[in-house]
């Protein structure tokens, strides 16, 4: 995990809390359901950012960091897979938040099969 997560995630949490406080002051007559929706929206954003950071921090996500013995084999033909850079994959998570994952992309030199390795 990167060291700057503490500061970054603290900042995210602060944004949620101050944003929620502000929203509440501006909506003194909000119903419980409205408060819940406002809170979910803010937590959803924080959740997506944390998910993004935590996923990218995974050492397993980087093929080039793996020792030779742990190199992945092609599920089709069993050949050693070659890393092909780190394209960004966009996923949608809860509360319709976009998460951008920079993952290793592997391509089989033998059969040309390409995929995002797990981890
Ligand atoms: Zn193959």
Distance CA 112, CA 117 (A): 15
Higher pLDDT, 11 or 119: 11
Mean per-residue pLDDT, 82-95: 79
Say how many Å lie between the CA of residue 119 and the centre of ligand 1: 20
**pTM for the model:** 0.61
Q: Tell me the mean pLDDT in the region 2-16.
A: 85
Query: 5 alpha carbon to ligand 1 midpoint, in Å?
Result: 37
Q: What's the gap in Å between 106 CA and the centre of ligand 1?
A: 10
> Measured between alpha carbons, how far is residue 89 from residues 22, 52, 57, 70 in Å?
34, 11, 15, 24
| pLDDT at 112 > cutoff 80 | yes
Q: What percent of the chain has pLDDT over 90?
A: 34
């Amino acid at each position: 995990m990167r060291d700057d997560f503490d500061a970054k995630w603290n900042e995210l949490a602060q944004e949620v809390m101050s944003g929620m406080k502000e929203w509440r002051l501006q909506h003194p007559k909000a119903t419980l359901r409205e408060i819940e929706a406002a809170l979910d929206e803010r937590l959803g954003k924080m959740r997506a950012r944390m998910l993004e950071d935590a996923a990218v921090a995974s050492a397993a996500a980087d093929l080039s960091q793996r020792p030779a013995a742990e190199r992945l084999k092609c599920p089709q033909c069993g050949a050693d897979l070659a890393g092909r850079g780190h394209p960004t994959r966009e996923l949608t998570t809860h509360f319709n938040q976009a998460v951008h994952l920079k993952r290793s992309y592997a391509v089989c030199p033998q059969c040309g099969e390409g995929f995002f390795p797990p981890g």
